[in-house]
């Protein structure tokens, strides 16, 4: 049993999600930095989802998916596979409804994120660090427990929940003319694109993706989904292949994906710590890295910049 899969959310579903999660999710702040504006030549408005419950935007989508279930569905609990933030978000969301959460975790995931999932009360299931192993283990847990699958990025209610951050951002920072989010599986990027263009069809949309996991950029360039990319990046939150429907949304909303190296991303992560005073993950820093890499494309614009998470293992900082 699973929630809606493979269908992009409507703007109405995103607005419904905002109402559904309002009593559980935080309205995260939008921060500014004169120093980062000067470096970029743009007016940057940072949407700090690193300050969301669970330390990442993922709580929005997971919470919406959990509370959209019927009582009959919810009684069996929920299951997902996750390298960290989505698993943590689903466990926290399940706890708000007092139901079980099963999380399939690949070996080698960031220790701090695994510990967070455990603290949130999830039942952990370990698997090999491949997409096939994750999906196989998840299917087995789903079959044996009757738990509802809440997919990290292909679930309609998850995408709708992620899109709610754009509703907030465009109220907090009216007059934006561009928006950039990281791109991994595409749940955030697709939900954000749908919400953004429903409110302001002229908003220019960008995505930031690691060069070592650039399947979305390749897919948009080639006109069809590329599935041969083997992720090789420090950005653990962006290693998933972009989903088929998520890619459709990126294409339909003309999201321009910029790729950045791990070195560029680490430098941006350090800048966010030093200038914005925000602890963010490497994956989150891709957005600033992309802006600084292609400065001429952002110069003079008012840009919404989504910082997706702040769950950093302080014992394994990427510049050491």
Section 72-96 average pLDDT: 94
Find out whether 106 and 34 touch, Cβ atoms under 8 Å: no
Same topology, domains 11-57+155-307 and 59-149? Answer is: yes
177 vs 302: CA distance, rounded Å:
6
pLDDT in the model for residue 4 = 55
pLDDT in the model for residue 116 = 86
For domain 11-57+155-307, the CATH class is alpha beta
Strands of 101-106's sheet in order across: 123-127, 101-106, 78-81, 148-149
59-149 architecture in CATH?
Answer: 3-Layer(aba) Sandwich (3.40)
Ranges of each domain in the chain: 11-57+155-307, 59-149
More confident residue, 4 or 240: 240
Average pLDDT value for the chain: 94
Look at residues 235, 227, 229 and name the one whose alpha carbon lies nearest to residue 208. Answer: 235
Tell me what percent of the residues of the chain surpass a pLDDT of 70: 98
Residue 1: pLDDT band by 50, 70, 90 thresholds?
A: very low
DSSP state of 53: G
More confident residue, 171 or 239: 171
Q: Which residues contact 79 (CB under 8 A, 6 or more apart)?
A: 101, 102, 103, 104, 138, 141, 142, 145, 147, 148, 149, 150
Residue 111: pLDDT band by 50, 70, 90 thresholds?
A: confident
Find out whether 167 and 195 touch, Cβ atoms under 8 Å: yes
**Entry pTM:** 0.94
262-271 helix and 282-293 helix, angle to the nearest 10 degrees:
100
Residue 2: pLDDT band by 50, 70, 90 thresholds?
A: very low
H or E segment to which residue 125 belongs: strand 123-127
Q: Using one digit for the tens of pLDDT, what is the confidence trace for 130-147?
A: 888 999 999 999 999 999
Q: Which residues contact 41 (CB under 8 A, 6 or more apart)?
A: 295, 298, 299, 300
Section 252-278 average pLDDT: 98
Whether 165 has a pLDDT exceeding 70, the answer reads: yes
Section 57-66 average pLDDT: 97
Q: What Rg, from alpha-carbon coordinates, does the chain have? A: 18
Q: Using one digit for the tens of pLDDT, what is the confidence trace for 18-39?
A: 999 999 999 999 999 999 999 9
């Amino acid at each position: 049993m699973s929630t809606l899969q493979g269908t992009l959310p409507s703007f109405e579903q995103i607005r419904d999600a905002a109402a559904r999660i309002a009593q559980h999710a935080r309205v995260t702040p939008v921060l500014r930095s004169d120093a980062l504006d000067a470096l970029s030549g743009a007016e940057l408005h940072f949407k700090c989802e690193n300050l969301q419950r669970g330390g990442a935007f993922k709580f929005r989508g997971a919470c919406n998916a959990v509370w959209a279930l019927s009582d009959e569905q919810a009684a069996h609990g929920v299951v997902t596979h996750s390298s960290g933030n989505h698993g943590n978000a689903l466990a926290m969301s399940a706890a708000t409804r007092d139901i079980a959460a099963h999380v399939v975790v690949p070996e080698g995931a960031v220790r701090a994120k695994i510990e967070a999932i455990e603290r949130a009360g999830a039942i952990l299931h370990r698997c090999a660090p491949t997409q096939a192993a994750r999906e196989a283990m998840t299917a087995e847990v789903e079959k044996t427990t009757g738990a509802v699958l809440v997919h990290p990025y292909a679930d309609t209610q998850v995408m709708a929940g992620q899109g709610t951050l754009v509703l907030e951002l465009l109220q907090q920072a009216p007059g934006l003319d561009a928006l950039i989010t990281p791109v991994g599986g595409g749940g955030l990027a697709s939900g954000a694109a749908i919400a953004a263009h429903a409110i302001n069809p002229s908003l220019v949309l960008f995505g930031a993706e690691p060069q070592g996991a650039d399947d979305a950029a390749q897919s948009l360039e080639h006109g069809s989904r590329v599935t041969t990319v083997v992720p090789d990046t420090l950005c653990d939150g962006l290693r998933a292949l972009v989903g088929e429907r998520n890619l459709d949304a990126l294409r339909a909303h003309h999201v321009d994906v910029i790729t950045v190296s791990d070195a560029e991303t680490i430098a941006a992560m350090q800048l966010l710590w030093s200038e914005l005073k925000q602890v963010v993950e490497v994956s989150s820093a891709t957005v600033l890295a992309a802006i600084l890499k292609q400065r001429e494309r952002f110069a003079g614009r008012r840009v919404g910049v989504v910082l997706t998470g702040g769950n950093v293992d302080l014992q394994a900082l990427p510049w050491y």
